[in-house]
Structure formats: structure tokens, C-alpha cells
Amino acid sequence: MKSKIVMMAAFVFMAIFGVVLGGIVLPDPPPATPEKPNIIFIMADDLGYGDLGAYGQLVIQTPHLDRMALEGMRFTQAYAGSTVCAPSRCALMTGLHTGHAFIRGNGGLSLPDEAVTVAEVLQSAGYATAMFGKWGLGSEGTAGIPNRQGFDEFFGYLDQMHAHTYYPEYLWRNQERFPLEGNVESERNVAIERAQYSHDLFTMEALNFIDAHREDPFFLYLPYTIPHANNERAKGDGMEVPDFGAYANESWPEAQKGHAAMISRLDRDVGRIMESLKTLGIDKKTLVIFTSDNGPHREGGADPEFFDSSGPLRGYKRSLYEGGIRVPAIARWPGVIEAASVSDHRWAFWDVLPTLAELGRAQAPADIDGISFLPTLLGESYRQSEHEYLYWEFHAGDFLQGVRWGDWKAVRSRRTGSLELFNLSVDPGEGVDASQKNSEILEKLERFMEEAHTPSESWIPWTPE
């Protein structure tokens, strides 16, 4: 009798954790999730790690996103795909980090036919798919436009330069130009007559799509342009917003009033989307993820230090220091994700595709870099797989590389010849270069940099002339 009890206990242990016995591997049990949930992925543009109240912001008001964090999971070590727009979105859509990605900088390239996006994966699993906002991965007439990359519906900007103005003369509805009456531009990206604010239109489209598909499983990708600056406008006047809202009477520079007003407007509309889910009765079968495409910017008059937009982190957009790539990330799914939970699981944008594929009972491509973090969302960290390391590279007048391995982080610039090493467990602000005292660790991270970079004819690392 005793031997039978021992055998049964061993079987239960193996069934739960998966061990090898006599050459047989018993797999982990499948996650206990409801049938295919709706998925909404909301992404801000140039929102810093420290720009939300839930991440320590003391001035800018973000009550709805703060509430989302209280009702869901807040990630403290989530990373964007890159430090600027296009490559970050490419990593998000394709599950490939920038050492392997089709797009590794803001170079105007389009996704090719052979790219497989998260939208295509979910579309193949029966999801209705839509994208409203800024695409940046394919221009007019190319294979990279959203309708050719898995999205049933698209309304927004194709080109990231076009997305710099919030009052464009037109947006794209699927593959046709959609005129916006009352908006007039004197020259490219500079509006002189402003009637329709693009961000507000994206929110309306999102609410209409949710309502129309409340009975279906749907995937809504909502990459807002807020709080990106209009880089082409006069210096110090690039934070376009209809009004300064609660900040109108502050004695701040107008660019800072605009920056704060944009973030609070974003927060307001996230709140509207969450309320619509409750009103339609689909709140408990919808996963909502919120994040940003990279760190805060210093453009259009904005100053990331004014509101401490990077929080405790060093750097901002166009840098591979933590402030340029570590981003706020919140996931909410009532009844599934534990409320008010905080996770320090390290994940990056290339992990989103396999996560959502697993969630939607779909097959992710085999040759991607991502690892599903669904176990973390479900509170089952004991079965969460981890990356050996995370890798970024960035092409923009230099060749930057960054690697995170455990608590160690290395950043290299080919132009300056610098190679720095930081221990993030004691130095999250990357203020002390620890390379001289940790040469073996630095060499290990250098090897990771070499193996993670795959040569590309479109992305040749900068070299001295």
C-alpha cells in the first residue's frame, strides 16, 4: 500500500512539473484559460517609463491607467523592441529581435511578403483583426501595408513621418486615402487649419470595432501616436493637442503643458475603452495590454527631465540605455490576471507574438526569437521559460548594441568605441561602468552581441570612413 502511495505521489509530481523517467518526458499541463479571449493591445508613442502614476509620476494625471494597474499586472522589466518607432513595431509584429528583424532602424523599409505577423497568426485562428493608429512598417502599394499583413480593418497612418502631424489632411482607411475635412497643411506635416484630431478618431474607430465584434473573438491593435512630437513644427511648438486641459493654468512652457495634456488625453481614452468592455459585458473575456514603443523623446520642445519621464532610468529615445528601451507595461484580464500584481519577469516585444498565439490557440512561427509569457500572466511563474539574454541593435548614424543577461547589461557604440557594463540589480540608472572589474562577464556579453547579430544587406553596421 505504501509503495502505491509513493508511486502515485511521484506520478503527480511528474505530471505537474515534467521530469524524465525511463526516457519519457511528461509535459507541463496546458494553461487553464477560458476559450479564446478578445485581445486589445494599446501602445503609446514615446511614452516614458516614468510618465504614468503607476510608475511613479507625480504631476501628470493618469487615473485610468493607474486603475488598470491596480486591476491587473504591472511589469517592472518589460522592454520595447527598439529605441525608435519602426524597428520596435517590427519586433512586436514579427517576434524577431533587431539582430534578425527585417527593419532595424527608421529607414523607410516595408515588411516583405514572407513576414508573418501576430495579426496573421490570430487571423488564421478565427480572430477578427483591426489596427487603428500608426503603422510605420509599409508604405502605399507595398507588401508591408496592414491589410496585406493580417489586418481585416485599418484606419490610420502608413508612414511614420506622416504621423508626425495630429491634424493631417487625410488618413488611410484600408488601402484608400480618407480625407479629413477642415484640416489644411501649409507644407508637409504642418497644419494651419485644424478641425479633426487624429487620436480622437482612432478612439472612435476602436469603440465602434469593439461594439461590432462583441460576439466574436477579436484582436485590436491600437498604436496611438500620443505623446510623439510633430518634429517638423517650429522649435518648441511640436506637442500638438486640442487644449491643455487640466494643465492650462500651469506656469510651464507650452510644450510641457502639451506633453502632459497629451498623456492625460491618452489616459482618458483608455478609460473609455475599458468602460465600453464593461458596458458590453465582455470585460471578463478580454485581455488588455498597454505599453509604449520606446522611451521618452526630446523633440518638439519636450524635455524628458521636466516630468522625470524616464523615472529612475538613464537615457531616453535613440539610446540603448534603460531609459530608451525599458517601458511601462500593464496587463488586465479580470478573473484571470491577479489584481494589483507586480511582475519582474523580463520580456520584450518579440515575446508578444508567441504569447498571443498561445492565448488564441494558434500556431506561432517556429523560427522566431520570442518566448510566450502567458504563464506569467496566469500567475504560473514556476513554468515560465526565460531568455538566456535579450538583445537590441540600432542603426542611425552609428551602430549601437545592447545585451541584458540576468542583472548584467552591456551597451556598445561602434562610433565612439565605448563598451560599458552595468549591474542593474544595484545600478538601475546605469551610472557606474563595471567593465574593468568584470572582464569575464563583459567578454560573455560581447559574445552574445556577435551571435545575436545576423548580417543584412539593408542594415550594414556603421564603420569609420
C-alpha 240/C-alpha 192 separation (Å) is: 12
C-alpha 88/C-alpha 98 separation (Å) is: 8
Please give the C-alpha separations between residue 44 and each of 67, 85, 111, 211, 328, in angstroms, as whole numbers: 17, 11, 21, 22, 10
| Residue position matching grid coordinates 497612418 | 157
- Return the closest-CA partner of residue 14 out of 372, 380, 375, 22: 22
| Residue position matching grid coordinates 511601462 | 328
State the average pLDDT over residues 367-376.
Answer: 98
pLDDT(11) > 60 = no
Instruction: Write out the residue limits of the CATH 3.30.1120.10 domain(s) in the chain.
Output: 397-452
Judge contact between 297 and 304, C-beta under 8 A.
yes
pLDDT given for residue 187 in this prediction: 72
pLDDT given for residue 15 in this prediction: 35
Lowest mean pLDDT among 23-37, 338-352, 369-383: 23-37
C-alpha grid cell for residue 387? 531568455
Over pLDDT 70: what percentage of the chain? 92
pLDDT given for residue 19 in this prediction: 34
pLDDT given for residue 231 in this prediction: 80
Please give the C-alpha separations between residue 364 and each of 115, 358, 368, 397, in angstroms, as whole numbers: 12, 8, 8, 34
pLDDT given for residue 4 in this prediction: 33
**Residue 69 — pLDDT band, cuts 50, 70, 90?**
very high
State the average pLDDT over residues 94-120.
Answer: 96
State the average pLDDT over residues 377-397.
Answer: 97
State the average pLDDT over residues 417-442.
Answer: 97
Judge contact between 309 and 48, C-beta under 8 A.
yes
Q: How many CA atoms lie within 13 A of 89 on its CB side?
A: 33
**Residue 2 — pLDDT band, cuts 50, 70, 90?**
very low
**Residue 6 — pLDDT band, cuts 50, 70, 90?**
very low
**Cα(first)–Cα(last) distance of the chain, in Å?**
79
CATH architecture for the domain at 38-383 = 3-Layer(aba) Sandwich (3.40)
State the average pLDDT over residues 353-362.
Answer: 97
Lowest mean pLDDT among 116-125, 145-154, 232-241: 232-241
pLDDT(33) > 70 = no
Over pLDDT 90: what percentage of the chain? 87
Lowest mean pLDDT among 7-21, 167-181, 267-281: 7-21
Computed over its alpha carbons, how large is the radius of gyration of the chain? 22
pLDDT(165) > 70 = yes
**Residue 379 — pLDDT band, cuts 50, 70, 90?**
very high
Q: What is the mean pLDDT of the chain?
A: 92
State the average pLDDT over residues 315-329.
Answer: 98
**Residue 34 — pLDDT band, cuts 50, 70, 90?**
low
Phi and psi at 275, nearest 5°, equal -65, -35
C-alpha 209/C-alpha 187 separation (Å) is: 33
Instruction: Write out the residue limits of the CATH 3.40.720.10 domain(s) in the chain.
Output: 38-383
pLDDT(184) > 70 = yes
State the average pLDDT over residues 305-324.
Answer: 98
pLDDT in tens, 249-281: 999 999 999 999 999 999 999 999 999 999 999
Judge contact between 286 and 273, C-beta under 8 A.
no
CATH architecture for the domain at 397-452 = 2-Layer Sandwich (3.30)
pLDDT given for residue 26 in this prediction: 37
pLDDT in tens, 441-458: 999 999 999 999 999 999
pLDDT(85) > 60 = yes
C-alpha 294/C-alpha 298 separation (Å) is: 12
